[in-house]
């Protein structure tokens, strides 16, 4: 069965140096100044294994000599005030200075780790929903939530989803994946319904395609229905990506390529979504691409990366040719 899964990137944990206490001025011993390279004859500063003339031991921010307590960050020294006011990483939630481990979202916002699971995060962009992002935020009944920045483009009606489907279908046609949007029935459903439809799916499921085909005794198609279920309320870019993925399943279904291995079929659906996202461009599209590229799932992530590598090496035409083969397997590439 088919489902769509994006493992969202999220959070990278990085360590930074913590402020250290002052070094003291001492006299006597002869040393070489680490800043100017000249011999030190009088008093000097010692930080770690480095020595400096007092005039050479300067703040990386303002350039003035440092005479007392200071902060070392990434091997550079700062007056404490200069560090706190101009250099220190500030938490986007509480504005406090960040030391040690912290969370970093895709957009470059840093957060104290203590805010995780306490402050709401947007289910699309993963930003913590704070400050101006609270205005206009959306919380759906099934728990899906969008920040105030993502919610204005939320697709909440079948009518607007159909319009997007037509747009996506024309992009796909240009890539050689022709499907007739007129043969597809779109449904916007909540997460609960989506999980029911796609039992194999995970919490990341955003869409599901169901085919029904009735053949007569001669094997001719008598009746065929294609239903595409989409998570209601997704932002436009996510909806476009999900539509491209599901329409590629429809194309695979109509071509009878259902025997292929999952890594190839799902990887190709994600690759088709990637192609469409690249066409529409913009920060949100780049973000969705990044989540696919970082997805560690063996089918949706690894499958996508291998299909992408294959298409980049051999061309889109070769990828399509491969995809049209009934029993094509990614493992044989």
Q: Which residues bind Zn ion (CB under 5 A)?
A: 2, 4, 33, 35-36, 53, 56, 59, 61-62, 79, 82, 91, 93-94, 96, 112, 122, 124-125, 147, 150, 266, 269
User: Closest separation between CB of residue 218 and Zn ion, Å?
Assistant: 31
Q: Give me the phi and psi of 111, to 5 degrees please.
A: -140, 150
Given the structure tokens 């400050």, which residue do they identify? 131
- Backbone phi, then psi, for 273, in 5-degree steps? -60, -40
Q: How far apart are CA 209 and CA 35, in angstroms?
A: 65
Based on CB atoms, which residue is closest to Zn ion, 143 or 315?
143
Is the Cβ of residue 124 or residue 310 nearer to Zn ion in the bound state?
Answer: 124
H/E stretch holding 262 reads helix 262-280
- CA–CA dist 92, 127 (Å, integer): 10
Cβ atoms 62, 82 nearer than 8 A:
yes
Q: Residue 174 Cβ, how far from Zn ion at the closest point, in Å?
A: 21
State in angstroms the smallest separation of the CB of 157 from Zn ion.
20
Nearer to Zn ion, 4 or 172 (CB): 4
Q: Which residues contact 43 (CB under 8 A, 6 or more apart)?
A: 25, 26, 27, 54
Nearer to Zn ion, 198 or 310 (CB): 198
Q: How far is the CB of 266 from Zn ion (least distance, A)?
A: 5
- Collect all residues with Cβ–Cβ distance below 8 Å to 188 and sequence separation of at least 6: 155, 156, 157, 158, 161, 229, 230, 231, 232, 233
Residue 332 Cβ vs Zn ion, minimum distance, rounded to whole Å: 21
Residue with Cβ nearer Zn ion (171 or 253): 253
CB of 276 to Zn ion, least distance (A): 14
DSSP, res 52:
E
Q: CB of 279: closest distance to Zn ion in angstroms?
A: 20
Q: How far is the CB of 33 from Zn ion (least distance, A)?
A: 3
Instruction: With H, G, I as helix, E, B as strand and everything else as coil, classify residue 113.
Output: helix
Q: Which token pair is 93?
A: 């939630």
Residue 19, CA distances (Å) to 4, 62, 75, 113, 273 in order: 45, 17, 11, 19, 46
The helix-helix angle for 262-280 and 236-254 (nearest 10°) equals 140
To Zn ion, the closest distance from the beta carbon of 262 in angstroms equals: 9
What are residue 228's DSSP bridge partners?
Answer: 186, 209
| Burial of 293 per CB tally in 10 Å (0-12, 13-18, 19+) | middle
User: Which of 36, 258 has the CB closer to Zn ion?
Assistant: 36
Which residue, 61 or 217, has its beta carbon nearer to Zn ion?
A: 61
Closer Cβ to Zn ion, 95 or 216, answer by number: 95
Residue 189: exposed, middle, or buried by beta-carbon count in 10 A (0-12, 13-18, 19+)? middle
6 or 310: CB nearest Zn ion = 6
Residue found under tokens 């009518």: 159
């Amino acid at each position: 069965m088919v489902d769509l899964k994006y493992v969202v990137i999220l959070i990278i944990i990085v360590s930074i140096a913590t402020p250290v206490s002052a070094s003291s001025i001492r006299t006597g011993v002869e040393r070489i100044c680490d800043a100017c390279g000249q011999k030190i004859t009088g008093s000097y500063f010692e930080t770690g294994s480095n020595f400096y003339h007092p005039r050479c031991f300067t703040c990386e921010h303002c350039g003035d000599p440092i005479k007392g307590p200071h902060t070392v960050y990434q091997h550079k020294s700062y007056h404490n005030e200069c560090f706190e006011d101009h250099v220190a990483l500030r938490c986007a939630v509480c504005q406090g200075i960040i030391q040690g481990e912290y969370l970093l979202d895709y957009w470059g916002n840093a957060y104290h780790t203590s805010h995780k699971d306490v402050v709401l995060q947007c289910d699309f962009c993963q930003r913590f929903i704070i400050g101006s992002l609270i205005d206009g935020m959306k919380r759906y009944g099934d728990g899906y939530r969008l920040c105030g920045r993502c919610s204005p483009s939320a697709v909440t009606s079948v009518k607007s989803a159909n319009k997007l489907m037509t747009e996506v279908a024309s992009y796909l046609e240009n890539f050689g994946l022709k499907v007739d949007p007129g043969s597809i029935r779109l449904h916007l459903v909540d997460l609960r319904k989506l999980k029911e439809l796609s039992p194999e799916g995970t919490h990341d499921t955003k869409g599901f395609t169901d085919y029904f085909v009735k053949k007569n005794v001669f094997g001719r198609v008598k009746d065929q229905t294609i239903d595409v279920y989409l998570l209601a309320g997704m932002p436009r870019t996510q909806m476009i990506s999900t539509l491209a993925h599901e329409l590629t399943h429809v194309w695979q279904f109509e071509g009878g390529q259902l025997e292929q291995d999952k890594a190839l079929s799902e990887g190709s659906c994600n690759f088709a979504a990637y192609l469409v996202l690249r066409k529409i461009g913009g920060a949100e599209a780049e973000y969705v691409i990044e989540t696919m590229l970082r997805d560690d799932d063996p089918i949706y992530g690894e499958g996508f990366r291998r299909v992408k590598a294959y298409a980049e090496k051999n061309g889109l035409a070769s990828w399509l040719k491969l995809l049209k083969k009934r029993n094509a397997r990614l493992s044989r590439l």
